[in-house]
Structure 1
Amino acid sequence: MNKINICKANVQDAPIILEIQKQAYISEAELNNDFNIPPLTQTLEELIAEFDNKLILKIVKDDQIIGSGQAQLHGSTCHIGRMAVKSEFKGQGIGSQLLSTLESSFIEADRVELFTGKQSKANLAMYARRGYEVFKQEKLGQTQVVFLYKNLNQ
């Protein structure tokens, strides 16, 4: 397998990041029969605006962006979101590498939080393997969402 590089994205990357995000979140929408989830309805302008207040990373392989993820610090908690990998690269541990990079993005963070759909068994299994625990569930739109956390620096 050729090496991947995970680095900070820039605004010029936004169109391809949005395309990958929308492709990746179709399966989440199908699991929950909810096609109005924010990763699918987000506009390019909205994504570009997020570059001002979030860390947006891209995954590059062979000079091509194949995935992305976001993190934002609130107090001492790192909130991770919108992780997406092109479907042809899933199952190769790339998402796990991205998660590790996002988890360590803010040296001052002592906790990481993220969420996923309750029906997303593969995501939930990966998060459990990595030490995440459920702390709440709620319905967002038509989707039952599971919020997870992991304490860092222990």
Structure 2
Amino acid sequence: MNIEPATPEDAAEILALQKAAYLSEGELYGDLSIPPLTQTLEELVQSFGRNTILKAVQEGRIVGSVNGRISNGRCLVGRLMVRPDLQGRGLGTLLLAAIEEKFADAVCYQLFTGEKSVANIRLYERLGYRVYERKEVPGSVAVVFMEKKGRAAT
């Protein structure tokens, strides 16, 4: 398996993966209108202009992805996803490490997830992330914001 930069030409395959990977999150929250499930192909293609998107490729297929960008010295990590049948095998850890390495000069790494997503939170905590804020989203669920210090902070 290789982790490498994705291109806009990968968008359709990443979007299909995203919808499969985030379906369990939508079901967990009883809300299939969460942004990863409603994002359009055009929106994803446009996101390549502001985000670095990495893909994990196995046997010619994209099996995972993550994105990140720098804002005020912080790396904002988003849309970490792994094909459902490959979850729990360390691929998410590899993707997160890859995006952190891509932005090695970041002061910190920040991400968010729903507060009911205990498996995600457990993964992030195991990798050094800590909750720094909890927010109620009107008409939705609570979200936890997590952060990990970067090498530039030391």
TM-score by length of 1: 0.94
**Once the two structures are superposed, what CA deviation does each residue of 1:43-98 show, in whole Å capped at 9, x if it has no partner?**
00000000111001110011111111110110110000011110111111000000
Query: CA RMSD for the aligned pairs?
Result: 1.0
Please point out which of 135, 141, 144 is paired with 2:142. 144
- Does the residue aligned with 1:104 lie in a helix, a strand or coil? helix
Same amino acid, percent of matched pairs: 42
What is the CA distance between 1:107 and its match in structure 2? 3.1
Q: What's the CA shift for 1:105?
A: 1.4
The answer to whether the 8 A contact 1:78-1:109 is kept is: yes
Amino acid at match of 1:152: G
Task: Please identify, of 137-146 and 45-54, the stretch whose mean Cα deviation from structure 2 is larger.
Answer: 137-146
How many residues are aligned here? 151
Assess if the C-alpha contact under 8 Å between 2:104 and 2:150 holds in 1.
Answer: no
1:117 counterpart (114, 119, 139):
114
> 2:76 matched to 1:75?
no
The aligned amino acid for 1:148 is M
Note the residue ranges of structure 2 that are not aligned, 5 or more in a row: none
Of 81, 103, 108, the residue aligned with 1:106 is 103
Q: How does 1:119-134 map to 2 (within 5 A)?
A: 119-134=116-131
Which aligned runs of 4 or more in structure 1 are off by greater than 3 angstroms? none
Q: Output the amino acid matched with 1:118.
A: E
Gaps of 5+ in 1: none
Instruction: Give the aligned residue type for 1:77.
Output: R
The one-letter code matched in structure 1 to 2:59 is D
Please list, as runs of the form range in 1=range in 2, the aligned pairs for 1:46-57 lying within 5 A after superposition.
46-57=43-54
Checking the alignment, whether the CA contact within 8 Å between 2:69 and 2:77 is kept in structure 1 is yes
In 1: Cα distance, 2:58 partner to 2:85 partner: 12
1:18 corresponds in structure 2 to 15
CA distance in 1, matches of 2:57, 2:16: 15
